[in-house]
Structure 1
């Protein structure tokens, strides 16, 4: 369950609990309250599940090339980024260096690596990236791992 789904579920539970409390105050019949809560839960569950189902269907109809993993990329000629290989990367500090095709070393920070969550590189990995001149020297941006 993603963070957004969890937040929606919590909000929904609060709304249902408030609805049950209000219904029980205004009516003494517990079965009516339970039936109303069940119908509300059923409708809300259906409404919350429809967007997720549509996303799964949309994702299954797309080509594999269009939806690659955020960290990995197939090698193709459509990208104007440079290629290079990871010289070293310190996972605990979150930075390292990439060696360009011309032999120059370029600094890389974990924030400039594509992907979600924990992002790191392994020594020798082939990568694509843009190079930017910063105050401290060359820096890699928009880094993605290449897969053959």
Structure 2
């Protein structure tokens, strides 16, 4: 029976040591949290507005140049790939938007990927090349 008493006493001492360790850890955590300051339950607000980008003007710029500028603009403003088409379309003139919409309808919804691709936009806007008086080869 004395062996059993010794085992119980060892368990009791082990539990006391564990309780002390837990209390020390709790104090350390409280001290670390006090350095952080108050924590807000709501995440910080993220600016969702994107600066405007000039619409494509076939009389003053080639499509390749415009598209390169737009991609640079998108990268500089951290526009995610899934929002690139929406940002592009919202910055275009009504004429360009209607032209792209018509092209998309003609191709059918089965062939479309989410948002217009580079090749689709190049093809659609190439129709405006004849308007540019001093156009260069694309």
> Normalising by structure 1, what TM-score?
0.31
Q: Which has the higher contact order (CA 8 A, sep 6+)?
A: 2
Per residue, is there more strand in 1 or in 2?
1
Q: Bigger radius of gyration, 1 or 2?
A: 2
> Normalising by structure 2, what TM-score?
0.32
Per residue, is there more helix in 1 or in 2?
2
